[in-house]
Structure formats: C-alpha cells, structure tokens
Copies of this chain bind each other. A is one copy, B any other.
Amino acid sequence: MLSKSQIGFIKSLHQKKYRKEHGIFIIEGIKSIIEFIPSGFQIHSIYVLNEYQHLLPELPSNIKLFEINSKDLDKISTLQAPQGILALVHIPVQEKLNLAELSTGFSLVLDGVQDPGNLGTIIRTADWFGFKHIICSPNTVEVYNPKTVQSTMGSLCRVKVLYQDLPELIQEINIPVFGALLEGENMYQTNWGKSGLIVFGNEGKGLSPEVINLIDRPVTIPGAGLTESLNVAVSAAIFCADIFRNLQK
C-alpha cells in the first residue's frame, strides 16, 4: 500500500507546476515503461499491480519498485482506465541545440501547438519516419503533459523534443525552412532536398507573424477545396510521409 504522502506526491505530478518543481513526469502502460527503461531517461520509481509484475524485465538497482493495489493505482493514474503499471521519470535537462546535427536532416518545428494529444501524435509520427528532433516554440504545450506522453505511445524516449525561440533558431541555421501554409507550392511537386526545418502552426491561428516572415518555402497539401484546414497532427504526418518518400528515392 502507498502512503498518503506518496499518493499526494504522484497526484501533484498530474499538474505542470509540480512536474516542473520536482523535475519528474509520469508514464503509464507496460509498453512505454519497457521502452523507457533502457533509454537515456532515468526512471525514478515504478508502481505495479501484482499481476503485471512478471512483464517487467530485470530492473537496475537504482529504480524503486512498489507493488500496489488497484485502488491506489486509480488514485495516482492520469488515465480513466489505468493500465496496471505507472512509472515516474526524471525530466532530463534540455540539451543545447546542436545546429550542425540538425543541419544534416529534417526536423519538425512547432509554433504554438496547444493540444497535448496533437503534440504526442506528432512525436509518434516523427519516430515512425525516423525524424530525431522536434523543436517547439516556448508557447507550445508542455511535452511532459500526461496526455502528450500517453499519445506518444513510447516514442518520446527516442525523439528529442526541445523548446527554443523559433525566430532565433531560424536565423542561426543554414538549411531551407519549409512552412505548412494554405497558400504555397504543391506538396506533391516539392523537391525537399536533403535537409530542412518544417514548421507547423497553432491549431486555430496557424503560424505566428514573426515566424511566417522567416519561411523560405511555403508548402501546401493539395485538397478538394471543400474544407478550410487539416488537423495539425494530420498535416505533419502527410508532410513526414512525403519527405520520407523523397529520401527513399
């Protein structure tokens, strides 16, 4: 059984304020936890129902393991239907942007994406196509939001997500800056080359004016013209698939 203070501590991590204060976030589900254990992230502790324990690999001695009952899991879980196992993970110190490394390939750039599920889905999609970096404007939703973490389905342990002033980044880097815009060149005819930043805007407002001015290549996903826009995670996926196709040639 968990103590009241342990439960209170874990529940506090449902909130951004306390995640920041303690430098810890929550992941749930055996699949994600198994992927995080050997990753660069440091696991703080694991809380598991008896019947899920055999699914865990042997743990390094610095990870504390607690067997808990489902009543306590319901209290500490961020999910409506908890998945039998939950872990606390240390938030890593953000690495310095390595412009030389970024310049060798494609990275996704998010300018004020607000929905945690969209951010998580974009991370999962980037991982599918092997894109290693996502750079977010400071006003993009927090990557350690439980809904974001959950919708990455474990991909968060492989994709680096960095927060950075975008105009500064764009001005310092020397690769093409593509922007997902409603008026731009036809994506199907775009020659992506070998490297670039691909910038996506906020769900409602699109790209911010400071960033729009710095886009070299506005690109549009052709459509039938009946509806105004696509969901941002959908646009990002269609761009990723097109760039990946181009890289395979």
By a beta-carbon cutoff of 8 Å, the part of chain A in contact with chain B is 117, 121, 124-125, 127-130, 151, 153-155, 158, 188, 221-231, 233-234, 237-238, 241-242, 244-245, 248
What are the nearest 5 A-B pairs in CB distance?
Answer: A130-B224, A234-B237, A128-B223, A238-B241, A127-B227
Interchain CB contact under 8 A, A222 and B237: no
What is the bound-complex CA distance between A231 and B124, given in angstroms?
A: 8
What is the bound-complex CA distance between A232 and B79, given in angstroms?
A: 20
What is the bound-complex CA distance between A124 and B224, given in angstroms?
A: 12
A sample of 8 cross-chain residue pairs with beta-carbon separation below 8 angstroms, ordered by A number, consists of A117-B117, A121-B231, A128-B221, A130-B224, A153-B229, A222-B244, A231-B233, A241-B241
Closest chain-B Cβ to A233's Cβ sits at a distance in Å of 7
Contacts A117-B117, A237-B238 given: A128-B245 contact, CB under 8 Å?
no
Interchain CB contact under 8 A, B242 and A125: no
A124-B234, A153-B229 given; name 6 further pairs at CB < 8 Å: A121-B233, A128-B224, A130-B225, A222-B244, A237-B237, A241-B242
Interchain CB contact under 8 A, A125 and B224: no
**Which of A124, A225, A227, A231 has the most chain B CB atoms inside 10 A of its CB?**
A227
Contacts A234-B125, A238-B237, A245-B188 given: A227-B153 contact, CB under 8 Å?
yes
What is the bound-complex CA distance between A237 and B221, given in angstroms?
A: 11
What is the bound-complex CA distance between A130 and B158, given in angstroms?
A: 35
Residues of B within 8 A of A129 (CB): 223-224
Residues of B within 8 A of A248 (CB): 188, 222
What is the bound-complex CA distance between A206 and B242, given in angstroms?
A: 24
Interchain CB contact under 8 A, A226 and B188: no
Interchain CB contact under 8 A, A231 and B125: yes
Interchain CB contact under 8 A, B155 and A227: yes
Residues of B within 8 A of A228 (CB): 153
Contacts A233-B234, A244-B222 given: A227-B121 contact, CB under 8 Å?
no
Closest chain-B Cβ to A157's Cβ sits at a distance in Å of 10
Interchain CB contact under 8 A, A226 and B127: yes
What is the bound-complex CA distance between A171 and B153, given in angstroms?
A: 35
What is the bound-complex CA distance between A225 and B234, given in angstroms?
A: 20
Interchain CB contact under 8 A, B223 and A130: yes
Closest chain-B Cβ to A124's Cβ sits at a distance in Å of 6
